[in-house]
Structure 1
């Protein structure tokens, strides 16, 4: 009688990471600097691939994503939109026109919506943008059954913007009078 080996947690983590990243159009990436940022991506050959920092592409500046550096990637579930898995990633910047770059760009090109220069987009990416691979490294930090308690919401950043003040006391009479005059005319 043969016994089927049970998958280890790392195999289940990899499967969860791959499935959620394939199905989600947006991942939240936190680099060594700044808060996490939502970025569109594709899952390609075992990693999240994304393009940014060009004048017409998503901003990557401020995240501190450097070649050989690390990042944390959060992916939400499609059904309820809640965080489903969080995993550490190794960042690799793909050099333009290399074999890996061409393969990743081929996938990214199909997911880029509303590009004003769809015919020459890949040349622009080679000149102005960075194509990054975020490769899973290690076990998932958070997954179903191993999620932190609490909301994990960050406090809003300080801003000089205020909420709307109460309306002046005479405003309703002024507005009501205008409507009444329009009805007569």
Structure 2
């Protein structure tokens, strides 16, 4: 396979995986991965946040982040790629086009008719534009899971159930008297 066709295939994989997933993880260094809902619009992952929407964790214009997409079938990591953050200005042509797509995908919005006005006042719309090929993809995934370790706790659910519980729940062991 030529380098150009491999690059086109990789770009297509990035686009298709982002279109099919309603949730991506965005990582910017030591802050860890953050899950955000998004839409794929005009070659980038687009998110809306702050105000009454999801937190955007301080991502700003020009930042470099890593976007990770999960598989819709297995929910495991499928693909990761580097991206540049672009902030869209409220009211601009690009902002308006992106917000139309976001509004269509926004579930359970309490103010569906006026949500775009609210977003213009109190939220930010960011684009995560792919800047290179995928760093992780099928056949080239890291060995570690990436999952956070559970917090140590003395709580447990691995103790035997009380001996009387089945009798209490299912009435076993009781003899019924006939009238």
Runs of 5+ consecutive residues of structure 2 not aligned to the other structure = 175-179
Question: What does residue 35 of structure 1 align with?
Answer: 32
**Alpha-carbon distance in structure 2 between the residues aligned to 1:161 and 1:26:** 33
Q: CA RMSD in A?
A: 2.9
State the aligned residue count. 176
Partner deviation per Cα, 1:20-49 (whole Å, 9 max, x = no partner): 001111111112341211111100000000
Partner deviation per Cα, 1:118-163 (whole Å, 9 max, x = no partner): 1110011011111000000011101122222x24234436477844
| TM superposition shift of 1:8 | 3.1
Question: What does residue 60 of structure 1 align with?
Answer: 56
Runs of 5+ consecutive residues of structure 1 not aligned to the other structure = 181-185
Q: Which moved more, 1:159-168 or 1:29-38?
A: 159-168
CA gap of 1:122–1:168, structure 2 versus 1, over 3 A, is: same
2:23 to 22, 26, 31: 26
1:44 to 41, 46, 56: 41
Question: Does residue 107 of structure 1 match 2:104?
Answer: no
**Which stretches of structure 1, 4 residues or longer, exceed 2 Å deviation after superposition?**
5-9, 150-176
Using the size of structure 1 for normalisation, the TM-score is 0.79
| TM superposition shift of 1:172 | 9.1
Counterpart contact for 1:28–1:36, Cα < 8 Å: yes
**Alpha-carbon distance in structure 2 between the residues aligned to 1:72 and 1:20:** 15
**Alpha-carbon distance in structure 1 between the residues aligned to 2:151 and 2:133:** 35
1:26-175 paired onto structure 2 within 5 Å: 26-55=23-52, 57-61=53-57, 64-148=58-142, 150-156=143-149, 158=151, 162-163=155-156
**Alpha-carbon distance in structure 2 between the residues aligned to 1:173 and 1:145:** 53
CA gap of 1:76–1:154, structure 2 versus 1, over 3 A, is: closer
**Alpha-carbon distance in structure 2 between the residues aligned to 1:97 and 1:159:** 48
